[in-house]
């Protein structure tokens, strides 16, 4: 007797052999003839395995007819060719062992569809639904494909620190980290605390990006990538922002912005091709149930060149478009999501790489262009999603870096180690960050970013 997953018993069934399959009940239908059809799923694929359980089972009356959706069980029996519509394999049970019953009056996932909003209140159970099972598999496939892509190209996987004292993006939205009991301070506002009482230095925070540390390693081993959790205390309740998200950050030595953009395009195309090939059943489900332009969009992404435009050209296009945007278009202000979507969905009908943004709206580390107005930066925009990647060539010239740091009020004594890279054998280098949840959204068509991470963290929401 061999244990099989639902997927392997359906995909490569050993007809006539006795097998064991375990899972959770999706539905039970009783037939008048004294037997029941049990559909079980174990998360190995979207499809369920049908088990035929008849009265001759010793626990039929006592247990089988008391199985409701969510119950867990082990079925032993022969795999047979099924004549039922929509399936060609079924398991004729000789034994059903019930692991756990499931009370239909209190189980939150009943047969009728539960809204995604409601499901967020039961994040610990939602992976048992078809949609969240599929999201979980696609997310896992995208992680695997990420490592495969970079490892095949000779990049080193690097773990950058989660606790840092730098705010890479300079946006001031880092979560501060302290062991001081803030609650007791609120309750007793007159208690005096000293900096030395804290575990770290007072500036310790959760990382907003591993980039600066990745740069130090790229300037030693050449090509690195990080793939880790990232934290931002942005108070933005949108369908594209989380307070805790995962980011992939490659960094390459001896590279310029053009190399960076080429790598970004290749990476996005690789991820999309990977899930199209390896998650076709789940993608077809999303296309059918969630977003019926998904398959088309994915196939267009892999077959069409990403359009490259400078920020200045993008602004001209937006101004010429005569579209009434909510946020006015003006050289010098950042692109808003409505502008990004206009460029990808209306103007170019492709993914777009916008380069050379004004230096005033970008962080200190981006390389200043010869015009002294713009920096060698890029944002990769995808239809339906908007910004998926932000990146740049890095400022490798010490004198200009110092000037930029002074302009942006970054303290040299905090970044001495970063400046050492420019002091000792500086090289041109570039990199980018891809928001992992946004690519999961792009590949599944899921509208809200809270539904593509197991436990979403958003303002006022970190309960479980
Ligand atoms: O554009 P960002 O802020 O770039 C950086 O952090 C650079 N240090 C990256 C680098 O050059 N190594 O963030 C990169 C990407 C964004 O394009 C977006 O996809 C994602 O990270 N992102 C978020 N995803 C979910 N929730 C948030 N709050 C996000 N903020 C950024
Ligand atoms: Mg950005």
Residue 380 has pLDDT above 90, yes or no: yes
Is 201 a residue whose pLDDT tops 80?
Answer: no
Number of domains in the chain: 2
Rounded Cα–Cα distance for residues 271 and 267 (Å): 6
- pLDDT: which is higher, 178 or 236: 178
Count of residues in the chain: 464
**pLDDT of the residue at 284:** 98
pLDDT per position as a tens digit, 98-146: 999 999 999 999 767 899 999 999 999 999 999 999 999 999 999 999 9
Question: Above 80 in pLDDT, residue 34?
Answer: yes
Q: What are the DSSP E strand ranges found in 151-243?
A: 156-157, 163-164, 205-206, 223-231
Residue 271 domain-assigned (yes or no): yes
The share of the chain scoring above pLDDT 90, in percent, equals: 86
Q: Does 188 reside within a domain? A: no
In a domain, 115, yes or no: no
Which atom of ligand 1 is closest in space to residue 379's alpha carbon?
A: 17
Q: Taking ligand 2, which is a single-atom ion, which protein residues have CB atoms under 5 Å away?
A: 390
Assign residue 328 the CATH number of its domain.
3.30.930.10
Q: Are residues 84 and 33 in the same domain?
A: yes
Q: Is residue 147 part of a domain?
A: yes
Residue 84 shares a structural domain with residue 151: no
403 has pLDDT over 70: yes
In a domain, 192, yes or no: no
Q: Which of 100, 118, 141 is the last residue in one of the domains? A: 100
pLDDT of residue 168: 76
Closest CA to 92 of 132, 38, 146, 136: 38
Q: Nearest C-alpha to atom 31 of ligand 1 is from which residue?
A: 435
Strand segments (E) across 147-233: 156-157, 163-164, 205-206, 223-231
- Whether 147 and 256 map to the same domain: the answer is yes
Q: Which residues line the pocket of ligand 1, CB cutoff 6 A? A: 168-169, 209, 211, 232, 234, 241-242, 245, 247, 249, 387-392, 431-433, 435, 437-438
Whether 81 shows a pLDDT value over 80: the answer reads yes
Rounded to two decimals, the pTM is 0.96
Which mutation among 155, 238, 435 tests ligand 1's pocket best, with the greatest number of atoms within 8 A of CB?
435
- Number of the ligand 1 atom closest to the C-alpha atom of 234: 28
80 plus 218 within the same structural domain: no
Closest ligand 1 atom to 247 CA: 21
Query: What is the domain extent for residue 329?
Result: 127-173+208-451
Give Cα separations from 293 to 281, 300, 451, 452 (angstroms).
16, 11, 19, 19
Q: Is residue 156's pLDDT more than 90?
A: yes
1 pLDDT band, cuts 50/70/90, is low
Tell me, yes or no, whether 68 lies in a domain: yes
Quote the pLDDT of residue 59. Answer: 97
Distance 326 CA to ligand 1 centre (A): 23
Considering 65, 100, 135, which residue would you say is the last residue of a domain?
Answer: 100
Closest CA to 249 of 185, 124, 148, 159: 159
Closest by alpha carbon to 170, among 358, 411, 375, 413?
411
Q: Are residues 141 and 38 in the same domain?
A: no
Q: Give the mean pLDDT of 59-66.
A: 96
- CA–centroid distance, residue 435 to ligand 2 (Å): 9
- What's the pLDDT score for residue 167? 81
What pLDDT was estimated at residue 111? 66
Shared domain for 15 and 153, answered yes or no, is no
Which of 100, 115, 142 terminates a domain? The answer is: 100
Q: Which residues contact 30 (CB under 8 A, 6 or more apart)?
A: 36, 65
Q: Measure Cα distances from 79 to 33, 65, 222, 387 in Å.
A: 21, 22, 53, 48
Do 90 and 134 belong to one domain? no
Of all residues in the chain, the percent with pLDDT exceeding 70 is 99
- Is 80 exceeded by the pLDDT of residue 84? no
Ligand 1 atom 24: residue of nearest CA: 435
122: in domain: no
Same domain, 229 and 150: yes
164 and 302 share a domain? yes
Tell me, yes or no, whether 457 lies in a domain: no
Res 352 pLDDT > 70: yes
The mean pLDDT of the chain is: 95
228 shares a domain with 96: no
Q: 32 near 267, Cβ under 8 Å? A: no
Q: Average the pLDDT over 220-228 and give the result.
A: 98
Q: Same domain for 158 and 222?
A: yes
Given a cut of 90, is residue 18 above it in pLDDT? yes
pLDDT of residue 274: 98
Q: Are residues 93 and 132 in the same domain?
A: no
Q: 365 alpha carbon to ligand 1 midpoint, in Å? A: 15
| pLDDT reported for residue 2 | 73
CA atoms of 127 and 384, how far apart (whole Å): 25
Q: What is the CATH number of the domain that holds 34?
A: 2.40.50.140
pLDDT of residue 172: 76
Average pLDDT over residues 203-208: 93
What is the number of the ligand closest to the CA of 334? 2
């Amino acid at each position: 007797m061999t244990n099989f997953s639902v997927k392997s018993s359906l995909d490569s069934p050993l007809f006539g052999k006795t097998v064991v399959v375990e899972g959770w009940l999706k539905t039970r239908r009783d037939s008048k003839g004294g037997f029941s059809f049990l559909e079980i799923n174990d998360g190995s694929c979207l499809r369920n395995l049908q088990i035929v359980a008849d009265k001759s089972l010793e626990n039929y009356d006592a247990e089988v007819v008391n199985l409701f959706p969510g119950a867990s069980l082990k079925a032993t029996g022969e795999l047979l060719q099924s004549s039922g519509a929509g399936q060609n394999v079924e398991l004729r049970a000789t034994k059903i062992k019930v692991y756990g019953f499931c009370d239909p009056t209190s189980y939150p996932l009943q047969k009728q569809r539960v809204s995604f909003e409601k499901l967020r209140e039961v994040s610990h159970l939602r992976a048992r639904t078809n949609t969240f099972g599929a999201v979980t598999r696609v997310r896992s496939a995208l992680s695997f494909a990420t490592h495969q892509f970079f490892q095949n190209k000779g990049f080193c996987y690097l773990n950058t620190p989660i606790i840092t004292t730098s705010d890479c993006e300079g946006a001031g939205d880092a979560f501060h980290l302290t062991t001081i009991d803030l609650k007791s301070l609120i309750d007793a506002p007159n208690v005096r605390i000293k900096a030395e009482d804290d575990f770290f230095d007072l500036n310790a925070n959760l990382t907003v990006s591993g980039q600066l540390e990745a740069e130090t390693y790229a300037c030693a081993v050449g090509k690195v990538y990080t793939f880790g959790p990232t934290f931002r205390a942005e108070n933005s309740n949108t369908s594209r922002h989380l307070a805790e998200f995962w980011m992939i950050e490659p960094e390459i030595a001896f590279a310029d912005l053009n190399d960076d953009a080429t790598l970004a395009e290749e990476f996005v195309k690789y991820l999309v091709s990977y899930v199209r090939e390896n998650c076709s059943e789940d993608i077809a489900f999303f296309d059918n149930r969630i977003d019926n332009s998904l398959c088309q969009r994915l196939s267009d992404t892999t077959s069409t060149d990403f359009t490259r435009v400078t920020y200045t050209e993008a602004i001209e296009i937006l101004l010429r478009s005569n579209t009434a945007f909510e946020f006015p278009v003006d050289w010098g202000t950042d692109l808003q999501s409505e502008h990004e979507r206009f460029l990808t969905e209306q103007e170019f009908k492709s993914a777009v790489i916008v380069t050379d943004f004004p230096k005033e709206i970008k962080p200190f580390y981006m390389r200043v262009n010869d015009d002294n107005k713009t920096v060698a930066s890029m944002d990769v925009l995808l239809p339906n999603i908007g910004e998926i990647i932000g990146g740049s060539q890095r400022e490798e010239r010490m004198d200009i870096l110092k000037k930029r740091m002074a302009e942006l009020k970054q303290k040299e004594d905090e970044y001495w180690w970063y400046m050492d890279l420019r002091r000792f054998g500086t090289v041109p280098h570039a990199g980018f960050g891809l928001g992992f949840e946004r690519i999961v959204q792009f590949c599944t068509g899921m509208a809200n970013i809270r539904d593509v991470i197991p436990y979403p963290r958003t303002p006022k929401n970190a309960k479980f």
